[in-house]
Amino acid sequence: MASLRAFGVILQKLSPNSVTHNCPRLFHLHRNGLCSLSSLAAQASSSESKMKCRGNQMRRIWMSPVCMGRRSSKIAGRKGAQDAKKAKLYSRIGKEVVSAVKKGGTSPISNTLLAALLEKAKELDVPKEILDRNIKRASEKGQEAYIEKIYEVYGYGGASMVVEVSTDKINRSVAAVREVVKDYGGKMADPGSVMFKFRRARVVNVKASDVDKDQLLTISLDAGAEDVIEPPEYEDDTEEERSERYYKIVTSTENYSGILSKLREENIKFEPDSGSELLPISSIEVDDEAMDLNKELMDKLLELDDVDAVYTDQK
């Protein structure tokens, strides 16, 4: 199976009709407003630059213009993906609750770790019944505490992946991850060979159809956001698909609560992260075939119960 996928990638690269896409644009955000727009493909003389400045402190805002094709490879911003992400969030918090109760008991008064975790769950809008269920589960005979692990993976087309795992059986989790990676054409990487390509940050997801872009930029800036990532657009998007696109507000841990509070004040719906996310320091371009194969590999990894998240540096 893996050899067939790899052969497909080679054929794609040799094809004279293969196309690569350069989509990202970069907005610079000054302390008091949106400052400049420069396309990363701006070597072309026809590229335009817009500027609207009100100050001298600058932050970066990554935006994505309309991209051609790749309909089968739309990973981010789809309802199914968001629902799966929410399910993974609840599962991850549940595991953390079990581990906290195992270490310090069921009382938040005496168990400061559990108290902090319950406060975090409240911030992330985790339903109370999930917390109660896992507190009870931690007391069941045979239930072990969960351990967090990270596995690093090479995908197709030079893309890299980081797999975050929380498990009560290390041997089971590593065997399951290795099996999926092997079956779907990836390769396990040595520790540290992929992680340096990512940085950890707090992220807030806001549905594009729920907010005005300029309003979101202003709110994010005032609350201390570092970046705002706009999802890509595709020329063959349906109305339903456009309605499931999400902005990502990137910020530090210190400013995270402030951004959530500001969004609530403005009655803007949002989806929090699971405590943090890994963002690529730089992204790489892969062809359509490699992108499809990487998506399939990531989807299969996310189907594993022990896997909490999978991150990639492909565009």
Confidence of residue 311 (pLDDT cuts 50, 70, 90): very high
**Any domain includes 294:** yes
pLDDT at 153 over 90: yes
Q: How many CB atoms lie under 10 A from the CB of residue 276?
A: 14
Which of 52-61, 143-152, 166-175, 288-297 has the least mean pLDDT?
A: 52-61
- pLDDT in the model for residue 55: 43
Q: So what's the pLDDT on residue 91?
A: 86
Is the confidence at residue 110, as pLDDT, over 50? yes
Q: Is residue 13 part of a domain?
A: no
CB-based contacts of 99, cutoff 8 Å, min separation 6: 138, 145, 146
pLDDT at 28: 37
The predicted structure's pLDDT at residue 235: 67
pLDDT class of 162 with cuts at 50, 70, 90: very high
Same structural domain, 213 and 275: yes
Q: What is the pLDDT of residues 24-64, one digit of tens each?
A: 433 334 333 333 333 333 433 333 333 334 344 444 444 44
Residue keyed to tokens 């990554």: 62
Tell me, yes or no, whether 49 lies in a domain.
Answer: no
Statement: the pTM of the whole predicted model exceeds 0.85: no
Whether 189 and 154 map to the same domain: the answer is yes
User: When comparing pLDDT for 272 and 265, which is higher?
Assistant: 265
Give me the pLDDT at residue 21, please.
40
Residue 216 has pLDDT above 60, yes or no: yes
Average pLDDT, whole number, for the chain? 77
> What is the extent of the structural domain holding 283?
147-232+243-312
Flag whether pLDDT at 271 surpasses 90: no
Report the C-alpha gap between 101 and 311 in whole angstroms.
29
Higher pLDDT, 191 or 241: 191
Say yes or no: 95 and 121 in one domain.
yes
Asked which of 139, 171, 192 is the last residue of a domain, the reply is: 139
Whether the pLDDT of residue 175 is over 90: the answer is yes
Same domain, 111 and 162: no
Please tell me the predicted confidence (pLDDT) of residue 140. Answer: 83
Residues 84, 205 within the same domain: no
Domain count of the chain?
2
For the segment 217-225, the average pLDDT, to the nearest whole number, is 90
Q: What is the pLDDT of residue 237?
A: 67
Mean pLDDT, residues 106-110 taken together = 89
Q: Are residues 153 and 188 in the same domain?
A: yes
What CATH number is given to the structural domain containing 185?
A: 3.30.70.980
Claim to verify: residue 103 and residue 183 sit in the same structural domain: no
Same domain? For 194 and 223 the reply is yes
